[in-house]
Amino acid sequence: MANNIHITFLGTSSAVPTETRNHSSILINYQEENILIDCGEGTQRQLRIKKLNPGKITRILITHLHGDHIYGLPGLFQTLSINNYKKVLYIYGPKGTKKLIENIFNIFIHGERIKVEVKEVNGKFFENEDFILQSYPLEHDTPCNGYIFLEKNKLRINKDKLKKLNLPNSPEIKKLIEGKNIKIDKKLIKYKELTFKEKGRKISFIFDTRLCPNMKKLAKDSNLSIIESTFLEDSSKGAALAKEYGHLTAKQAATIAKKENVKELILTHLSQRYEHKEKVILDEAKKVFNNTKLAHDLMTVKI
């Protein structure tokens, strides 16, 4: 049985927060990992409302250095310092991230600092036995990364076939999912005959970008793609404004999802101009890609 991936939308607005939408931030929970993507102003309070412990954050992925995506970092670092955060906090981002984090600590953090390891990334930058993290540069008016969370394929035991063999309980059986043949009561059990491959899930995150080729690489075959939709294409000059300011329309996000075989699309990073009338964004996207949802603050999805 696959481990659930929980994704919590802590903030879903764009440059200006609204009554109902905080600045950008998303938390991914997978096994013991809690990965924060961006940390807009007010992220800590959103964590508290959801009863999520900031001390359990293991990694931070920064998409770019605009204020609505990073102004929550000084407060988060101070909270972790005050609460005796003992782990190494791994921080990844585009060019300029190292200088940003250094400046935050020099200006805002007094007394003992938490331990951080900061990397400016492009391509695959993390891998363990369970998942991979990748980044691709996007086209904004400042260096900007899109990210992929890619779960690795796993071998799973076919329990019906195992039951038919009527084998005694043995710790050796666990070796089958490691791709190893085993012997029980002198009988050879081949892992290929009792296991199947469970394909890993892919989640892509595409924020603050105009249309560009790397969007396709990020979105391709995603189980879930979370894409910004700052503008409405059907409005006056929507597509032109999106291109000028380095953003996407709902229609553009949906078109990418459809072309790149995305299973589910969630739209986020909504402009304040659509406060209380967000349905126009969703409607525009669903005309192109029906399996689209609109994110709202404190929403959690499970895949």
Every domain of the chain and the residues it spans: 5-153+199-302, 155-196
For residues 135 and 125, the answer to whether their CB atoms sit within 8 Å is yes
* Of 169 and 128, the one with more pLDDT: 128
Count of CA atoms in the C-beta half-sphere (13 A) of 4: 6
Q: What is the CATH number of domain 5-153+199-302?
A: 3.60.15.10
Is 68 among the residues known to form the active site?
yes
> pTM to 2 decimals?
0.92
Q: Indicate left, alpha or beta for 281 from its phi (over 0: left) and psi (-120 to 50: alpha).
A: alpha
Catalytic residue among 38, 68, 208, 297: 68
Percent of the chain past pLDDT 70, that is, above it, reads 99
Q: What is the mean pLDDT of residues 172-194?
A: 85
pLDDT score, position 1: 54
53 pLDDT above the threshold of 80: yes
Instruction: Quick: pLDDT tens for 243-262.
Output: 999 999 999 999 999 999 99
In what helix (H) or strand (E) does residue 108 lie, and over which residues does it extend? helix 97-108
Cα 192 to Cα 163: distance, rounded to the nearest angstrom: 16
Residue 267 CA: distances (Å) to CA of 53, 178, 202, 230, 251: 26, 38, 17, 9, 11
pLDDT at 241 over 60: yes
Q: At residue 232, what is the residue type?
A: L
Q: How confident is the model at residue 160 (pLDDT cuts 50, 70, 90)?
A: confident
